[in-house]
Chain A
Amino acid sequence: MSITRRQLIKIGIAGGASAALTGTAVAAEEPSAPRDAVGMLYDATLCVGCKSCVVACANANGLTPDTRLDPLHQSPVDLNSFTKNIIKLYTPAAGESGPYSFVKRQCMHCVDPFCAAACPFHALSKDAVTGIVSWDSDKCIGCRYCQLACPFETPKFDWDAFNAKIIKCEFCKERQARGLEPACTYVCPKKAVIFGRRDLLLREAHRRIENSPGKYFDNRVYGEVEGGGTQVLYLSTVSFDKLGLPNLSADEHPSHWLRWQERVMKGFVLPLTVYGVIVGFLKQNFREHDKEMNEEQKKTGLLPQI
């Protein structure tokens, strides 16, 4: 049985109160992917842009085709509530030279997920075994903090629905439960995107880099350390920021910031001091205000307004 939103709110209030009383906080650990974490390796040099993964994804996940731009085609321009997976095209701007490149965008399944850290009710959580970041409709309150927190702009909100959902790739959990690999890796005709254990995929990516030195940008795998590491890994000849993948350093991840927050909040001393100063200011101001008001009343004989 899953916990309902109502129970969660109760737990949250109780937990918040007890945490405030005891002044303790859970220590954040350095994140690392689970031992059996699954992942995908997308090699942009192999992709031919056939978009069969886009169609397969929509079919496997029962998504309505996005025909808002073009009524005859499934033509999303970005990830959205109809689209969990998209192929985009990078072409050099006018005046620039260099190769073009396709890029497959989807949820990165961060080792230390930003969305899960931002979610006030743990509606987004990371599986302890597979590392799949998934969304639980029973816990979501629709605040969309996850959308703001995600540096990859992946979770999308179902704006048109009355009971809205957060839409993002969940590595085809249902297919995996049936012993199948995700739809996109299954249909890819060039094996440009492959599915497997993250550690094996990393090894494969490094093997490809070693076999053709200088072919891949920076001789590096995007997702190995970026943003604390992701379970979707990228290889490309074009620089990753041109493909729309943000430049994140290895320690730009939620747990890192959480440690700073802990330091600030240690023993609740600093917050209490700040609150004290604010309350002092307010008191002082109110005293002045009251004095003025009394004088005014004496002078005019009228009751104070407001």
Chain B
Amino acid sequence: MAPVGLAITKKAWAGDVAADLLKTVRPPVIWLHFQDCTGCTETLLRTSKPGVADLILNIISLEYHETLMPGSGRQAEEQLHSAMKTYAGKYVLVCEGSIPTKGDGIYFKLGGKPGTQLLEEAAAKAGEIVAIGSCASWGGLPSAGDNPTGANGVADLIKGVPIVNLPGCPPHPYNLLGTVLEFVRTGALPELDSALRPKFAYDRVIHEHCPRRPHFDSGRFAQQFGDDGHRHGWCLYKLGCKGPDTHAGCSTRHFNEMPDVWPIGIGAPCVGCTEKGIAFNVPIFQNASVHNFTPPATYPPIATGAGHPAHIATGLAGLIVGSAVGAAWTAAQRFQSSQESAAVNPPEPPKELVPVSHEKSNEDGGGI
């Protein structure tokens, strides 16, 4: 359960990572907010290995973060531009929130500039981009339904810069820490999947490691909120849990560094927040589709033959067969008798088939 933040990327153990961190220059980080709720920043405040103070003061050099920085207005704006100029090509750009594109970007502006322009300028000089949260990864909540503001993820708008997506609403803070520490140590991104998510956190589905999995395999499902099964901690699949569809590490790495603090752990079905097209798009109570089928906790018996037919069924079948045989016999008898009568009184051949000559008939008539 409880995570150990430093060793998260499985490439090295925590001691190695910590030792290397002392030798490296702190990487400059610029954190931009777009259409967001600041939940991703909030999740980062709830870490202790390293704590956020240790992180921003000793491990990274946080140049710009609207929530954490004391400055504001013109002062903050100047800091952003000077950091972009000083660390051009080297800084890590963390984007939080989706970027609206409709109406020339009027739905989001910073310092008079639309979000799209701000992102383009910041991304052009970035060493790598971390899109934190579902909104920055693929649009998230603002892109749900009709997507009124034309909200997009970073990877939809920016090409040519290495991008890591850390979807989740919010994502686990150690996903960000692991990615940043990996970049600090090696200067490279962690291994990514097809949706640009680091594999160390997103390579398996919730369902595979769900603590409620034995209930799924035994067919013990909570049927509605608050029922007996729900109170006993049974599987939430039938309440619409998206665990089988959702790639994320929540089932092994719980939130707030407390055991069982994560949606399924507290009895709420997974909504699939890390998956594009599932969270905010598939109805919450709709059942997910299972991808990796495994056997249930039951066993087939030795003999799985057809079993024995019931007595009534046997009787019915006998009746049907008997009547069919009887009908066939009767039909055969009738056919035979009609054949015999036909042989005794052969039917008149049809007139048109018999060649009739008038002369001959006249002769016959004359004969009579």
Contacts and interface: CB of A to CB of B under 8 A. Distances in A.
**3 smallest beta-carbon distances between A and B, as pairs:** A89-B299, A65-B293, A74-B293
Contacts of B303: 244
Interface string B287-321: 00010011110111111100000000000000000
A88 interface: yes
B296 A242 contact: no
A159 interface: no
A70 B296 contact: yes
Given A72-B237, A300-B343, A67 B299 contact: no
12 contacts: A65-B293, A71-B290, A72-B290, A73-B294, A74-B294, A74-B295, A75-B298, A78-B304, A88-B302, A90-B302, A242-B302, A300-B346
A76 B295 CA distance: 8
Interface stretch (A47-55, A108-116, A137-145): A47-55
B216 interface: yes
A188 to B, nearest CB: 15
A86 interface: yes
Contacts of B203: none
A262 B298 CA distance: 49
Nearest to B217: A73
Interface string A73-91: 1111110000000111111
Interface in B297-351: 298-304, 343, 346
Contacts of A242: 302
Contact of B294 (A49, A55, A76): A55
Interface of A: 49, 51, 54-55, 65, 67, 70-78, 86-91, 102-103, 242-244, 300, 302
Given A102-B299, A244-B303, 17 more contacts: A51-B294, A51-B295, A54-B295, A55-B295, A65-B293, A71-B290, A72-B290, A73-B294, A75-B296, A77-B300, A77-B304, A78-B300, A86-B300, A88-B302, A89-B299, A90-B301, A300-B343
A158 B338 CA distance: 50
A88 B302 CA distance: 6
A87 B299 contact: yes
Contact of A73 (B296, B302, B304): B296
Interface string B202-218: 00000000000000110
Nearest to A238: B302
B300 A89 contact: yes
Contact of A75 (B216, B237, B295, B343): B295
Contact of B300 (A65, A67, A72, A76): A76
B296 to A, nearest CB: 4
Most buried by A among B296, B300, B343, B346: B300
A121 to B, nearest CB: 30
A90 B301 CA distance: 6
Given A51-B295, A75-B295, A243 B302 contact: yes
Contacts of B343: 300
A55 B296 CA distance: 11
B117 to A, nearest CB: 49
A239 to B, nearest CB: 11
A194 B295 CA distance: 22
Contacts of A78: 300, 304
B237 A89 contact: no
B216 A88 contact: no
Given A72-B290, A73-B217, A244 B296 contact: no
Contacts of A90: 301-302
Contacts of B301: 88-91
A302 B301 CA distance: 68
Contacts of B290: 71-72
Contacts of B304: 77-78
A244 B217 contact: no
Contact of B216 (A51, A72, A302): A72
A67 B298 CA distance: 14
A49 B299 CA distance: 8
Contacts of B293: 65, 67, 72-74
A85 to B, nearest CB: 11
A140 to B, nearest CB: 26
Contacts of B295: 51, 54-55, 73-75, 87
Contacts of A76: 300
A75 B299 CA distance: 8
Nearest to B290: A72
B302 A244 contact: yes
Contacts of A77: 300, 304
A67 B37 CA distance: 42
A244 B300 CA distance: 12
A70 B293 CA distance: 10
Nearest to A296: B343
A75 B304 CA distance: 13
Centre residue among B237, B303, B304 by max chain A CB count within 10 A: B304
A233 to B, nearest CB: 19
B208 to A, nearest CB: 12
Nearest to B300: A77
A114 B172 CA distance: 59
Nearest to B303: A244
B22 to A, nearest CB: 43
Contact of B299 (A65, A74, A88): A88
Contacts of A300: 343, 346
Nearest to B305: A78
A300 B303 CA distance: 65
A176 to B, nearest CB: 25
Nearest to A59: B292
Contacts of A74: 293-295
Contacts of A49: 299
Contacts of B346: 300, 302
A138 to B, nearest CB: 31
Interface string B270-300: 0000000000000000000010011110111
